[in-house]
Amino acid sequence: MKNSEITHRKSETRAGNAKLVCELNKVKITNLVRDSDGISRADLAKSSGLSAPTISRIIDGLISDGLVIEVGAGISKGGRKPTLLRFSGVDSFIIGIDLGTTNIHGVLTDLDANVVAEIKTPTRVEGGFARVMERTSEVVGELRGHLGSRKSRICGIGIAIAGLINRDKEIVEFSPDFHWHNVDVRAALQRGHEIPVIFDNVTRVMALGEIWYGAGRQYKNFVMVNIGYGIGGGIIIRGAPLYGQKGMAGEVGHFTLDKDSDIQCECGNYGCLEALASGNAIAKAARKEVERGAASELLEGCGGDPSRLTAEIVADYAKRGDATAWKIFDRAAEYLGIGIAGLINLFNPEAVFIGGGVAQAGDILFDKVRKTVHARALTKSSGNVAILPATFGTKSAVMGAVSLILSGIVNQDHEQINHQNSR
C-alpha cells in the first residue's frame, strides 16, 4: 500500500469515528431528554459532559425533527430562567413489523414506543415472497387505519427479518428461514405506502430495541442471542451495532460446535450451534426420540402426532419432569451456553440478552446457560456478565423494529427518513 493510500485510509477511519461519536452523542442527549420531565440545555451539558455548543446543535436538530419541544421556563438558579426541553412524540407514529416465518407481528406506536395498536397474523410462507409482502402490506394498512382521521404522520416502517442482510445492496441476500434469495423488501413495501422503510436482521434489531427502550440502555457492550426457529446474534460495541463488512456480522448460530455431527444445518453445514440448539433442532430431536419409541409423555403432548412437536412442548414436559424431554432441552441449553461462552470470550460484554421463542422457557434454559458459561468462559471476562432475558419477551423483535425508525431519525443516516411525510 502506498503512503498516500495509508493516509487516506487513516483519515477515512478518523471521519468514521467522528461520525460514530456524533451519532452516539445524539442518542445520549435524546435519551436524557426522554428520561426527564423537562430539562434545560445547561443540565443536559452537565449530565452528558458535552459542551454547550454541541448540546445546542443537537437540540436544534431534534427540535426540527419534531422529537423535542420547548416547554416553558424552569427554576432560575440566579439569572434568566432556563427554557425546559421535553421529548415530544405528539401526532408522530412508528410502525414496527416482526416478519417471522410463523406470524407477521405488527405494532403502531408513538415515538416513545407506547403501543397504540397491534396485529398478529399468520405469515403463510408457502405463498412465496410476493404473497408475504402483500400480507405485510395489509398489516401496515390496517395499522394505519387505527389513526382514523387524526392528522398525524407516520415516520417510518421498521422491519425485523431473519436472514443475511446486505447493507451495500440493501437487500435480503439469503434468508434460510424463508428460503429467499436476493429479495428487495423495501421496494415491495414502499410501493403501496410511500412511507420510509428500514429493515435489518431480526437479532440486531432486537439488540437495537434494548439500546433504545430496554434494559440495554444501561450497557455499552452487550450481545443479544435470539433462539427461535433458528439462532441469531446481535453485537453492540460501545453503544453501536456491529455490522461487519457487508452487514452480516453476528451469525453465532453458525459456529460449528460439533465437527462430527451428522445433523445438517439450514445453511448446509453440519453441527452448527443452530442445528444443535435452536427451536427447530429441539423439535426435531424430540420427533426422533418419539419415533424411535423412547419412554416419554411427549407423544401425548403432541396428540400422538410427532410432526406437531415443538420446542415449547419439549420445554413444558421437561419442566414436568419427563426425562426424555429434559435430556433434549438440557443438551440444547448446554450447547447454547458453550456458544455464549465463546461470545463472551470474544467480545467481553457487560451483558448477554437471550430472546426468542425458546428463551420463554425461562429458568430451565437460563440456569443451564449460566452454569455452562461459568464452567467454560474465561473467568476474568465472564465473572460479572449479566445473562438476562430480552426486555420485551416475545415482543422484542417488534419493539426493535420500532427503534429502527427512531434511531434512523436521530442519526439521519437513512435519507429515506424525512419529516415531510404526512398521512
Alpha helices in 214-263 (DSSP H): none
Contacting range for Zn ion; rule: CB under 5 A; set: 81-89, 262-270, 352-360, 398-406: 262-270
> Nearest approach, Cβ of 272 to Zn ion (angstroms)?
3
Query: Would you give the end-to-end CA distance of the chain in angstroms?
Result: 52
Is 267 a binding residue for Zn ion by CB under 5 A? The answer is yes
Choice between 269 and 345, CB closer to Zn ion: 269
Q: How many CB atoms sit inside 10 A of residue 292's CB?
A: 7
In terms of Cβ atoms closer than 10 Å to its own Cβ (0-12, 13-18, 19+), residue 278 is buried
Nearer to Zn ion, 258 or 350 (CB): 258
Site string for Zn ion, 330-369 (x = CB under 5 A): ----------------------------------------
Q: Which stretch binds Zn ion (CB under 5 A): 41-49, 200-208, 248-256, 322-330?
A: 248-256
**In angstroms, rounded to a whole number, what is the distance separating the alpha carbons of residues 307 and 287?**
7
3-state secondary structure of 234: strand
223 lies in the binding site for Zn ion (CB under 5 A): no
d(CA 210, CA 214): 4
Of positions 190, 269, 360, 381, contacts Zn ion by CB under 5 A: 269
Measured from the CB atom, the residue of 257 and 397 that comes closer to Zn ion is: 257
Nearer to Zn ion, 65 or 177 (CB): 177
Least separation in angstroms between CB 336 and Zn ion: 14
Axis crossing angle, helix 323-347 with helix 279-291, rounded to the nearest 10: 150
> Among residues 160 and 281, whose Cβ is nearest to Zn ion?
281
Could you say whether residue 263 binds Zn ion (CB under 5 A)? no
Q: Does 265 bind Zn ion (CB under 5 A)?
A: yes
Nearest to 357, CA basis, from 255, 196, 225:
225
Number of residues near Zn ion (by CB under 5 A): 5
Near Zn ion in 170-189, by CB under 5 A? none
22-30, 97-105, 233-241, 251-259 -> range binding Zn ion (CB under 5 A): 251-259
Nearest-angstrom CA–CA distance, 162 and 123:
13
Q: What sign for the dihedral angle of Cα 235, 236, 238, 240?
A: positive
Residue 103 or 256: the one with the smaller Cβ distance to Zn ion is 256
Rounded to an integer, what distance in angstroms lies between the CA atom of residue 240 and that of residue 11? 21
Residue with smaller CB distance to Zn ion, 150 or 259: 259
Q: Minimum distance from CB of 254 to Zn ion (Å)?
A: 4
- DSSP single-letter state for residue 214: S
Please choose, out of 50-58, 166-174, 265-273, 380-388, the segment that lies near Zn ion by the rule CB under 5 A: 265-273
The reply on whether position 395 binds Zn ion by CB under 5 A is no
Q: For the purposes of burial, counting CB atoms within 10 Å of the CB of 396, is it exposed (0-12), middle (13-18) or buried (19 or more)?
A: buried
Quick one: which of 272, 318, 328, 409 contacts Zn ion (CB under 5 A)? 272
Contact call for residues 91 and 151 (beta carbons, < 8 A): yes
Query: With binding defined as CB under 5 A, does residue 283 bind Zn ion?
Result: no
Sign of CA dihedral 219, 223, 226, 227: negative
d(CA 233, CA 223): 7
Nearest CA to 207 out of 175, 169, 160, 172 is that of 160
State in angstroms the smallest separation of the CB of 137 from Zn ion: 31
Q: Which is nearer to Zn ion, 261 or 269 (CB)?
A: 269
Query: Is residue 9 packed enough to be buried (19+ CB in 10 Å), middle (13-18) or exposed (0-12)?
Result: exposed
Q: Name which of 115 and 263 has its Cβ closer to Zn ion.
A: 263
Locate the DSSP E strands across 231-350.
231-237, 240-241
Tell me how far, at minimum, the Cβ of 262 lies from Zn ion, in Å.
Answer: 14
Least separation in angstroms between residue 282's CB and Zn ion is 16
- Least distance to Zn ion, CB of residue 273, Å: 8
By the rule CB under 5 A, 254 interacts with Zn ion: yes
Task: Return the range that interacts with Zn ion (CB under 5 A); candidates 28-36, 105-113, 236-244, 260-268.
Answer: 260-268
- Residues of this chain that interact with Zn ion (CB under 5 A) are 254, 265, 267, 269, 272
